[in-house]
């Protein structure tokens, strides 16, 4: 997804390059041509566009059909957003002309059929496929065979009752799968899906962003890996062919009965010991962060924590993304605490650390590349930005591509879930975050942000920073 706002683009006005009523812009930093044709009452893909188009948004239109000729005139397309149209038919090979396609959004349409012919891709780098909120009730197990590079598949809010066996087995780069909102039959029909998830995460250690643990197959969903593992075991046993049982009458001596009673006593004691051990282990696992933070507070040590080789040589410990309306908290509390001589963290904020005269988009990209962590201060002010949904989708996709947990999310206040879009809600439901009202907030934040050895704390004049006049788009920094 092309990052940033329209402030980073120059408008193309030539009729040969841009078809009205579309807005066509050129981004100076990445040489991307972005076409916005949203809410334009279009019934088909615009024809009069420059072949250099790299990203196009056709959301909220009336497009019903896609053919092999729909995209033949824009072969350089990397991002294609067809969300919220009326698409009900896609001709086989419609996406073959797009040889460098990266992200494909087909969400919120009327699609009922997908297969390997429809999704036949010539692009070797397809990373994201969004088929959410359609009418798909089933698909063959070879549907995604031509998309071996795909990293994210979004199937939530369809009419699926099962996921076909083996459909994800060859997708070795897959790091995001969302399926909630389908009428799954919680039996042998989703045994493949749950078994695949268990093997990928618990056996192979894959870092997977998904809502599979929230499947309501035990009335309330799976709150932890133990419940999911037990459910899968039960289903594997129930779905396996059962041997025919035969009844055998056996005479048991009295002495054997006494021996059996003693065995039951030993077995009961062993079971109790196992239960107590499991309970202690569960408590340690459930409160593992609090325990690690306590050890860090008392000793300054971080057990089981190692520095990533990718973080070596990075200038900043964290890059702060926040709303301008939350600036007082950043300047009066966050910076003084984290950049004190005792804390020794070095933070990057746009008011102070961006290079004067440099392109804003370049400054943001450089700041993220130079920072070990990205700290998001999520508040109502942050979420009410008109670009919040666009920026969060961009940051989430970037995190999936990096395959690293660099984002630290801080909930500054309680937020009504109804105000969250589906991407933010899915991220919060599958990732841990800090809350500003947590009694251990500062200790957990210190633990989560790595400390740079030999860091020199910068002296900052808060009054000078408050005098800086920057646009709302700069204040609402995207996480790329």
Mean pLDDT of the chain: 78
Q: Check whether 281 has a pLDDT greater than 80.
A: no
Q: Does 370 or 45 have the greater pLDDT score?
A: 45
Q: How far apart are CA 344 and CA 446, in angstroms?
A: 10
Q: How far apart are CA 356 and CA 363, in angstroms?
A: 9
Q: Check whether 282 has a pLDDT greater than 80.
A: no
Q: How far apart are CA 119 and CA 121, in angstroms?
A: 6
43: exposed, middle or buried (Cβ count in 10 Å: 0-12, 13-18, 19+): exposed
- Pick from 38-47, 180-189, 233-242, 312-321: least confident: 233-242
Q: What would the mean pLDDT of 447-455 be, rounded to a whole number?
A: 69
Query: Chain-centre distance of CA 329, in angstroms?
Result: 27
Q: Does 256 or 87 have the greater pLDDT score?
A: 87
Q: What would the mean pLDDT of 430-459 be, rounded to a whole number?
A: 74
Q: What would the mean pLDDT of 36-63 be, rounded to a whole number?
A: 91
Q: Check whether 446 has a pLDDT greater than 50.
A: yes
Q: Does 118 or 354 have the greater pLDDT score?
A: 118
Residue 212: Cβ within 10 Å count: 23
> Quick one: pLDDT band at residue 471, thresholds 50, 70, 90?
very low
Q: Does 57 or 258 have the greater pLDDT score?
A: 57
DSSP tag of 181: T
CB 105 within 8 A of CB 127: no
Q: Does 247 or 327 have the greater pLDDT score?
A: 327
Q: How far apart are CA 25 and CA 10, in angstroms?
A: 5
Residue 443 has what pLDDT?
84
Q: What would the mean pLDDT of 291-296 be, rounded to a whole number?
A: 61
Q: Over the stretch 391-423, which tens digit does the pLDDT of each residue have?
A: 566 666 666 776 777 788 888 888 887 777 777
Length of the chain as a residue count = 480
Q: What would the mean pLDDT of 367-381 be, rounded to a whole number?
A: 83
CB neighbour list of residue 19: distance below 8 Å, 6 or more residues apart = 46, 47, 48, 49
> Quick one: pLDDT band at residue 319, thresholds 50, 70, 90?
confident
Q: What would the mean pLDDT of 161-178 be, rounded to a whole number?
A: 92
């Amino acid at each position: 997804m092309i990052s940033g706002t329209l402030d980073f683009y120059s408008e193309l006005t030539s009729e040969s390059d841009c078809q009205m009523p579309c807005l066509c812009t050129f981004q100076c930093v990445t040489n991307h041509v972005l076409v916005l044709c949203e809410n334009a009452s279009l019934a088909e893909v615009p024809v009069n566009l420059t072949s250099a188009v790299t990203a196009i948004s056709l959301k909220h239109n009336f497009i019903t059909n896609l053919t092999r000729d729909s995209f033949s005139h824009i072969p350089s397309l990397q991002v294609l957003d067809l969300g919220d149209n009326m698409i009900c038919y896609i001709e086989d090979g419609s996406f073959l002309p797009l040889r460098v396609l990266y992200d494909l959004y087909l969400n919120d349409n009327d699609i009922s059929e997908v297969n390997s012919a429809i999704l036949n891709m010539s692009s070797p780098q397809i990373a994201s496929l969004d088929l959410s909120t359609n009418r798909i009730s089933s698909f063959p197990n070879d549907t995604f065979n031509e998309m071996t590079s795909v990293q994210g598949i979004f199937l939530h809010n369809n009419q699926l009752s099962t996921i076909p066996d083996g459909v994800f087995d060859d997708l070795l780069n897959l790091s995001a799968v969302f399926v909630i909102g389908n009428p799954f039959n919680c039996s042998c029909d989703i045994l493949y899906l749950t078994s695949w998830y268990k093997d990928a995460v618990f056996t192979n250690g894959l870092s997977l962003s998904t809502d599979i643990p929230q499947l309501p197959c035990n009335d309330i969903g799976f709150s932890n890996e133990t419940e999911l593992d037990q459910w899968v075991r039960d289903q594997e046993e129930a779905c396996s062919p059962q041997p025919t049982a035969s009844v055998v009458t056996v005479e048991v001596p009295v002495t054997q009965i006494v021996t059996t009673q003693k065995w039951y006593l030993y077995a009961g004691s062993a079971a109790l010991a196992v239960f107590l051990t499991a309970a202690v282990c569960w408590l340690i696992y459930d409160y593992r962060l609090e325990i690690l933070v306590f050890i860090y507070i008392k000793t300054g040590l971080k057990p089981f924590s190692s520095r990533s080789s990718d973080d070596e040589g990075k200038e900043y410990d964290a890059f702060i993304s926040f709303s301008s309306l939350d600036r007082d908290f950043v300047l009066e509390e966050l910076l003084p605490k984290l950049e004190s001589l005792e804390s020794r963290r070095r933070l990057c904020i746009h008011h102070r650390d961006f290079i004067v005269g440099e392109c804003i988009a370049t400054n943001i990209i450089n700041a993220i590349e130079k920072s070990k962590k990205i700290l998001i201060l999520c508040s109502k002010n942050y979420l009410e930005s008109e670009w919040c949904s666009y920026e969060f989708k961009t940051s989430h996709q970037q995190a999936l591509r990096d395959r690293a947990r660099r984002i630290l999310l801080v909930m500054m206040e309680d937020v009504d879930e109804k105000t969250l879009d589906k991407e933010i809600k899915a991220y919060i439901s599958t990732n841990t975050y800090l809350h500003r009202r947590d009694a251990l907030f500062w200790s957990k934040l210190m633990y989560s942000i790595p400390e740079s050895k030999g860091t020199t704390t910068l002296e900052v004049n808060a009054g000078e920073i408050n005098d800086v006049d920057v646009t709302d788009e700069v204040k609402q920094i995207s996480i790329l």
